[in-house]
Amino acid sequence: MNKMAKKKTLFIGGIKSGKSLNAQNYIVKNSKEKPIYLATTEFIDKEMQERVDAHKLSRSDSFETIEEALDLLSVIEKSQRSVLVECVSMWINNMLYHGSGFLEIKCEIEKILELDREIVFVLNDVGSGVIADNRLAREFVDISGKLSQLIASKCDEVYHTIAGISVRIK
């Protein structure tokens, strides 16, 4: 077992707030073994591929990267090491894109939260924005908000990140 004091941790903040880097530093610092970086991004276009490649290069020595856009549960179940889920927001997007609804998405998160694993979640805080002008965007925001509440309620620690500064709120 690694030396992390808590089983589940959430880093939440706006896009480009610094939450991902802080979550990475947190899990590396608190893990006895090299943690798993569970990357959820699907490659949509060349620009997204370039972003992903740059991120991979920046963390290559600190993590074992596993790319999985949909089936997070099976990857986490198989791992005996700490897992950084980067990020839940992209995973929700993927699940919606592939036809999953709220109940299916919620069920998978609940199963993940029940696992006896060290998990650090990264999630975009979408609750401070404006109401979207289209149904799919509103559905994404609703699901993300509900899941952020669920995940935070089950996490031992929650950090809110603004301008690169993560403040523990739970």
| Phi/psi at 18 (5° precision) | 105, 5
Rounded Cα distance, 32 and 3, in Å: 6
20 contacts: CB under 8 Å, gap ≥ 6 = 11, 86, 87, 122
| Phi/psi at 11 (5° precision) | -110, 120
Catalytic residue among 28, 30, 55, 66: 55
Strand-pairing partners, residue 120, are: 9, 84
Annotated active-site residue 55? The verdict is yes
State the CB neighbour count (10 A cutoff) for residue 92: 25
- Cβ pair 19, 167 in contact under 8 A: no
* Catalytic sites, residue numbers: 55
